[in-house]
Every structure is written in structure tokens, then in C-alpha cells.
Structure 1
Amino acid sequence: ALRLNQSQPAVSLALKRLRTILGDPLLVREKSGMVPTERALALLSHAKGALAEIDRMTFAPESFEPQTSRYEFRVGAPDYLAPMFISSVVERIRKEAPHLRLSLQSLGPNFDFERSLAEGDLDVVIGNWPEPPHRMHLSMLLEDEIVCLVGAGHPLARKGFTADDYQRAVHVVPMPYSMSQRGVIDTVLATHRLNRDERVVVQSFTMAPYLLQHSDLVFTTTRHFAQFYADLLPLVILPSPIPFPTMRFYQLWHERNHLSPAHRWIRRLLADCGKQIKPGS
């Protein structure tokens, strides 16, 4: 009642009307308090989308002034883009829109980013998919070469690196951030019927380089990510012996934000930052 700025009797009366109209109790009492029914949870996603659309129609400005705007953009992206890409995005935003707020959401296997875009919880999602979701608007942001990263004392750092070496090696791999399809690296390995020994699995990409320093692990990743940590830690970048294609990163957005001046501005800024990153540079 307090959050709705309504009295308790008014909220109770509204709930009673909804229960009558929908033929469902919507909220039931448990030991921990009132909890929603399955019907209420199903309705919630539709209600959030409808309310977000009404807000955008009612309050969306006709123009966007980045220098004075206090808008909040919500962007979903894998954490391995932070060193090479997100850092440049933040730098640009601080210069061009100093009052703007940026909320970054990490992607994970249990995170439904398509639903978050549809319901307005996220404005843009950035990632690499062999087959980008076709239900959203998208544009390609950048491409990057796939390489292997090892500790400076790794035997492979001092000899040639072959496909057989790759299969015999022990690997550290990140958890996938999409359960709907394989990542680019796994797709290529499956296509060539190659197996790798995935001995260590990490939830965060940024954890992997630190595990390479004093181990025999191999990490397959993008060149710009690898270069950042090779400059920071005693690590060596090796050309991949597997013919991986360049990894393509896209930005996705929902139709609800397609024509918004503010969202057009942030998408252009993301695209500009992506153009500064060249494969293999």
C-alpha cells in the first residue's frame, strides 16, 4: 500500500476486484507472507511490458540531449567485453553525457535476455551468437580474432602449437551465457569433431587469466581480451591451431525502443566504439 501510495482498504478492494474478474486468488498467505499464484506470475510479465510501453508513450521526450540528460540505460553484456569494449563505452559516456546513468547486467546461462528486452528490463544486449535471435533488431558491433592464452611457463609457450596439442591440453572454459545455442568456439569444435579436456569451468571470464599463471591450462578467447591480460600478467598469446572464424559481436534491441531518440543515441555510441576495435589489431 505504501509503495502504491494507496490506503490499505483501497488496495484490498482493488485486489478483491481483480480476483473476481480473473477468477484466481492471485495472492495467497504463506508463513513468509503473501506470495503470488502461478496465474499472478504469468500476468506479471504482460503487465510489466504494458506499463513500460505506457511510460514510454507518456513520458518519452521528442529529442535527447546527452549533455543534460539523466536517463538510465540498462545494457546486458558478457564480462569479457569489459577490458576492450565496455571501458571505451564508459569513457565516451562520461565525456558526452556526464549526468547519464549506465546499468550493466552480466549475462549467464539462466538469464533470459530476450525476455528482459521484451519486458523493458534491458535496453540493449551485447553478445556473440552463431545465429543471433531473429525476433529482435540487431546490428553488428565488432569482430575479434580467436587466440589461445597460456602462462609464460607453459610448455606450449616454447614450442609449436598444433591441433593435436590443443586436444591433449587441459582447458579452462567459461560457463555459457546462452542455453539456447552453443557458442562459436564449441560450434566449430563440434563441426570438426574435435574434443577438448575442459578441466576447469569458471563462471566469470575475468577469472580465467589468473588461473593460467602457474598452471598448464589453456584458455581460448578473443585477442583483445587476451592482450589486456598478457600486458597485466605473466601470460603468452598463441595463435589458435584450430581454424576458428573471427568472433562477431552484435547489439540487440526490442521494437519498443527502436525509434526512441535516447536509444538511437546509445546504439550509435556503441557502434562507434565497436568500430575502433579491429580483428587482430
Structure 2
Amino acid sequence: MANLDLRLIRIFNLIYETKSLTRTASALSVTQPSVSYALSQLRRQLADPLFVRGPEGMVPTSRATELFKVFKRSVNEIDLVVESITSFDPATSRQVFQLCLSDLGEVAFLPAIVNRLMSEAPGITLEVVPMQVDQVPEWLDRGEVDAAIASVDFSGKARRKVISQERYVCVLPARLAGTGSTMTLEEFRRLRHVVIDQSTGHSQVDAALSAMGVERDVSLRIHHFSVLPGVLANSDLAVIVPSHVANLFGGSWPVVVKELPFQISRFDVSLYWQDTSNRSAALSWFLDLLTRSLIEAEVLTTPGDADPV
């Protein structure tokens, strides 16, 4: 164990995350035999198989899962200390940042974020990690993602900055909209609806409707917000979505945004990141870029909210 070096620990962490020796070798720009040899060294020194081959790739043993929690946190802390004593220049950096977004978040926030990244840091790579609500707190804690933007209140050690407060509205084809800015309950009941899967983090709508005893005539259930405009424009369906996204749809498609005939509680959209006292200059810059991008996207509009610290 005394000879276990940082290089081997990094290889272990990558195998755990990718579940593949091939993908680990590619990420490190080395050959697969080199990764296999490193794994055999780890197995000898740690006296455990660590990974076994399964249908979905390299499956960690229980011992490997325990070690990963420690190794990942330790490597992150080492990297943070190193980064804290070196300068970070976004204009020349080749760093990779991981941002967790829902499908809805990609539609609403990603264009402004990418626009600012290309302008300020053309060499930086942004990896968008699909939202899995039950996994995000662990991902943040282990440093597997640098930040997340979500309407879900994640418990745990993550830091949080509320960036906006949203409300739900109804979007429907213009030919079905009728008059007035608010539909009646009877008009709502007559509509056929698209429902977004609750795994996207928007379960508030179903809970509120159930509590009020309001039922929808559901014709379509989907998992992705991004397909909604085309679906609505070419059908007689309606959908309940957050107002910011509804306004994006309404600006580009022949759909109308209407207020609901009942109250659904407003909800917060928040920026989350790992709670650590040794936050690197790179992460501080990334969080600042995210908040400035959200101002540009007219999600976060108060100048004083631009500081995520």
C-alpha cells in the first residue's frame, strides 16, 4: 500500500467512472495494455479484484466502491490545492468542466452558457451531464460534476444559490387558445395534454393537480422538453411548463402561453456546486460564468445575484 502512487489512483477512479478499460485508456491517452497493467498492480497492492467483467462493463467490488469514495475525494483535494497555487487563465485553459442539466435546462440555459464560453474560453470543454435527480447530490459531493442547475432542492453538502423563481403556465396551439390571458377551468379540462415524466424533476404539477382533484386528459407522455414545440404546433395538445421555457417556445413557434385557472406554488431554480473551503480559481471562474450567462439569458436579472459565493 505504501507504493500506491497518484497515477494508479487516477486510473482506478477512471475505471470506476467509465466502467471500461478502453475508455479509461482513451481518456488518459495511453494504451489499453497500460491500463490493464496498472489495474493488475492495484489488485496486488490492495489484495482485491476491484473490478469484474459484467454485461455493462467493469463492475466494481464492494471494496472498490468503498475505496472510490475516499480516492475521488482525495484526488479532488490534491487537484484543488495544486490549482490554488497556479494561475488560471480561461483564455488559454484546456480544462474540462462538467455541468449537470435536465433536458429543460439544456433548452433554457445552454445557448447563453455556450455563447459566453466560446467568447471567453474557446479552449475549455463543457460536458453536459444528463440530470438524474437521485444521483446529483452524490455527483457533486464526489466531484463528478462541477455544478448543477435544477429546480429540485438537493439536500446534502452541496452549496446552493437561488437564481430565479418560476411559475407554471399552459402552452397550447394558437388555434385552441381562445381569448384572454387566463383560461377557465372548463377550458383546461377540455384540452388534451402532454405530460413530462417526473424524473425530469417537475413532479410539482402532478402533486398539485392531484391535491386539487383536477384531472387531465393525457394523450402523450414524454421524457424530453425539447420536442414540445414541434409536437404542440402540429397537434391539438397542450402542456404545463415553467414560464421561462414557455416564453422561449412562444417566441419561435405558433403556440400561445396562458395562465392556469388554478394556483400551483412557485418554485426556485438554483445553481449547486460542491461545498469545499478549497474551491479552485477555475471553479470560481466557472460559477461566475454560469451566473453571468443566466443574466444574459434573462433568467437571473438582479445584478446583486451575479455572485454565486
Q: Provide TM-score, normalisation by structure 2.
A: 0.73
Change in 2 beyond 3 A, CA 1:257/1:250: farther
> Residues of 1 paired with 2:242 and 2:270: CA distance?
15
**Equivalent of 1:119 in 142, 166, 177:** 142
**For the residues of structure 2 that align with 1:193 and 1:94, how far apart are their CA atoms?**
48
Determine the C-alpha separation between the residues in 1 that align with 2:52 and 2:300.
55
Distance 1:42 1:275 in 2: 41
Q: Relative to structure 1, is the Cα distance of residues 194 and 93 closer, same or farther in structure 2, using a 3 angstrom cutoff?
A: same
Which residue in 2 is equivalent to 1:232?
Answer: 252
Query: Are residues 1:100 and 2:124 paired?
Result: yes
1:151–1:157 Cα contact (<8 Å) kept: no
Letter in 1 for 2:237: L
- In structure 2, the CA distance between the partners of 1:64 and 1:177, relative to structure 1 (3 Å rule), is farther
Bigger relative contact order, structure 1 or 2, given CA contacts below 8 A and separation 6+? Answer: 1
Matches within 5 A, 1:27-176: 27-28=51-52, 35-108=59-132, 112-129=135-152, 131-154=153-176, 156-157=177-178, 161-176=183-198
1:32-80 deviation digits (Å, cap 9, x = unpaired): 9975434334433443333333333335554432222222111001222
Alignment gaps of 5+ in structure 2: 1-20, 22-30, 302-309
Q: 1:178 to 1:205 in 2, by over 3 A?
A: closer
SS at 2:239 equivalent: strand
Measured in 1, the distance between the counterparts of 2:232 and 2:50 equals: 51
The structure whose residues are more often helix, as a share, is 2
The CA deviation string for residues 128-165 of structure 1, in whole angstroms up to 9 with x for no partner, is 02x442531000122334221112233x4457622343
Q: Are the counterparts in 1 of residues 51 and 60 from structure 2 also a CA contact under 8 Å?
A: yes
Distance 1:75 1:227, change over 3 A: same
**1:17 paired residue among 45, 49, 72:** 45
Question: Which SS does the other structure have where 1:64 is aligned?
Answer: coil
* Cα separation, 2, equivalents of 1:143 and 1:150: 23
* CA shift in 2, pair 1:120/1:250, >3 Å: same
Is the Cα contact below 8 Å between 2:172 and 2:255 reproduced in 1?
yes
Counterpart in the other structure of 2:242 = 222
Instruction: Write out per-residue CA displacement over residues 94-148 of structure 1, whole angstroms, 9 at most, x where no aligned residue.
Output: 2222222111122145x6111111121100010002x442531000122334221
Distance (Å, rounded) in 2 between the aligned partners of 1:30 and 1:70: 34
Question: Does structure 1 retain, via aligned residues, the 8 Å contact 2:81–2:278?
Answer: no
Letter in 1 for 2:192: V
SS in 2 for 1:173: strand
| Residues 194 and 221, structure 2, Cα contact 8 Å, conserved in 1 | yes
Shift of 1:89: 1.5
How big is the shift at 1:239? 1.8
Q: Is the 8 A contact 2:157 2:275 kept in 1?
A: no
List alignment gaps of at least 5 residues for structure 1.
none
Counterparts of 1:101 and 1:257, CA distance in 2: 25
The CA RMSD measured in Å over matched residues stands at 3.3
- The separation in 2 between residues aligned to 1:172 and 1:85, in whole angstroms, is 22
Larger mean CA deviation between 202-211 and 47-56 belongs to: 47-56
